[in-house]
Structure 1
């Protein structure tokens, strides 16, 4: 009997966290491992996830290249019907369903979060983004109270447990890491550690701030494709690919779905 698709939902109400870029890279990485991956872009207006994969499909057609590519679609509330049905349809036959939600709070996003097996919230390494989850004392940098997004996820996790008894593994990803202000990074890390114990999420490193990600978008390429297209891979690109490997490992996805003879990310 085939296992149900593992749903990975990327959600953050604040824009600019690298959410869509990270979602695309995770989806392509899993597809490159030989898994059947479906992707759903729920941001009908901006549609960064979908456009990224459109660009990827276009370069494959234009240059006759065979690249790992998820099956994907865009959710349109006016045309696609209830989000629950659309998620079910996209998950059918897949090993993984990667969902990229819009940077806002709405009922469809809350529903998607409540169906997640793994919920990924990328945040920039700053107190501005951290404020989404909890408020920090300006003098001591200790967490004073939980914020609205933590409460939203708490409600979604309760809904999931009530519906089918399953849990939502919440992963907060420190994305766009920069190494300019070590003291600030330590303070953010300490606050996240305190919050993680109170709220129940895991913290993992994400992708650093690198120009390469902006350069790859128009062609729909990822870090995993550079060698395949014959592009020289410098030390910075090798480091970035190492970050991606660590990111996928940090998600702690079901190993039976990930470990195959072709799991090595080139």
Structure 2
């Protein structure tokens, strides 16, 4: 069976689709077969990213390792069993369609609470939660006191992950390996950064997740989207000199893939 990676939280703008595309493409470039689903049925940023990539490669006559992408299958309501939820059935059908031919199935969730996202979390072998390095985003995981030092209780997203873990336990499945990825870790506000580090460290022990460093804010991510490219593709399209920012971003991706510690993955870029 394919190892299922779910990228999710319930807040937009945290970098879920950027993380999804770079993780999926990195695994593809290392020789793994990767299939992707995008559960944001309206915006489909990951789906657009992969479609843009295929269009660009075809136009340029290039061949680069590319994750497979599948739109969530449409199903006839009349084919469902009594009481079966249409979204559950569509997600199950999508995962089943990708499972046999891939080593990994990566599911990119929307930045809001939906039935699809809820079910996807219960399927996760690895859960990646990108989080901007601010207490606004931290509030997604837990509530803190006015000083930002003491955790007063879990928030709605943590409770959803807890419910997903309970479902997996009842089904006899392996526990979810949950990694909170800290994006946009600027050095300009050291007081906030230290408070965030302390708060995330406390919460990690309390509710059981690992932490990893993700990507800093870089213009190149927005520039690459129309062509569906990632940092790992630059040399292949003729970019001879990598600037300092690009090299740093590539190193961030390498460290993220190492931190995920996915099965049978040896980082080779």
Q: Same fold (TM over 0.5)?
A: yes
Residue-by-residue CA offset, 1:115-163 (whole Å, 9 max, x unaligned)? 1000011010000000001001112521111111111100001101111
Residue-by-residue CA offset, 1:16-74 (whole Å, 9 max, x unaligned)? 00100110000000000001111111111000000001110011000001111011112
CA contact under 8 A between 1:134 and 1:144: conserved in structure 2? yes
- Give the match for residue 214 of structure 1: 222
CA contact under 8 A between 1:174 and 1:203: conserved in structure 2? yes
Q: What is the SS of the residue equivalent to 2:237?
A: coil
Within-5 A mapping of 1:184-223: 184-223=192-231
Moved over 3 A (4+): 76-81
Q: Given the alignment of the two structures, is residue 38 of structure 1 paired with residue 42 of structure 2, yes or no? A: no
Q: Which of 67, 71, 92 matches 2:68? A: 71
Q: Given the alignment of the two structures, is residue 10 of structure 1 paired with residue 7 of structure 2, yes or no? A: yes
- Paired with 2:114 and 2:261, the residues of 1 have a C-alpha distance of 28
- Paired with 2:165 and 2:253, the residues of 1 have a C-alpha distance of 27
Q: Given the alignment of the two structures, is residue 48 of structure 1 paired with residue 45 of structure 2, yes or no? A: yes
Residue-by-residue CA offset, 1:62-106 (whole Å, 9 max, x unaligned)? 000111101111226667843122212222221111110111112
Q: Given the alignment of the two structures, is residue 173 of structure 1 paired with residue 170 of structure 2, yes or no? A: no
Q: TM-score, length-normalised on structure 1? A: 0.93
Q: Which of 238, 244, 254 matches 2:247? A: 238
- Give the match for residue 264 of structure 1: 268
Q: TM-score, length-normalised on structure 2? A: 0.92
CA contact under 8 A between 1:47 and 1:74: conserved in structure 2? no
Query: Runs of 5+ in structure 1 lacking a partner?
Result: none
Q: What is the SS of the residue equivalent to 2:95?
A: helix
- Paired with 1:241 and 1:160, the residues of 2 have a C-alpha distance of 34
Q: What is the SS of the residue equivalent to 1:228?
A: helix
CA contact under 8 A between 2:73 and 2:93: conserved in structure 1? no
- Paired with 1:250 and 1:78, the residues of 2 have a C-alpha distance of 37
- Give the match for residue 82 of structure 2: none
- Paired with 1:125 and 1:78, the residues of 2 have a C-alpha distance of 40
- Paired with 2:49 and 2:245, the residues of 1 have a C-alpha distance of 22
Matched pairs, number: 257
- Paired with 1:76 and 1:86, the residues of 2 have a C-alpha distance of 6
Larger CA deviation: 135-144 vs 232-241 = 135-144
Within-5 A mapping of 1:62-211: 62-75=59-72, 81-139=89-147, 141-211=149-219
Q: Given the alignment of the two structures, is residue 21 of structure 1 paired with residue 2 of structure 2, yes or no? A: no
- Paired with 1:203 and 1:264, the residues of 2 have a C-alpha distance of 22
- Paired with 2:204 and 2:96, the residues of 1 have a C-alpha distance of 30
Residue-by-residue CA offset, 1:164-223 (whole Å, 9 max, x unaligned)? 331101110001222210110110111000000110000110111111101110111100
CA contact under 8 A between 1:120 and 1:173: conserved in structure 2? yes
- Paired with 1:184 and 1:253, the residues of 2 have a C-alpha distance of 31
CA contact under 8 A between 1:18 and 1:176: conserved in structure 2? no
Query: Runs of 5+ in structure 2 lacking a partner?
Result: 77-86
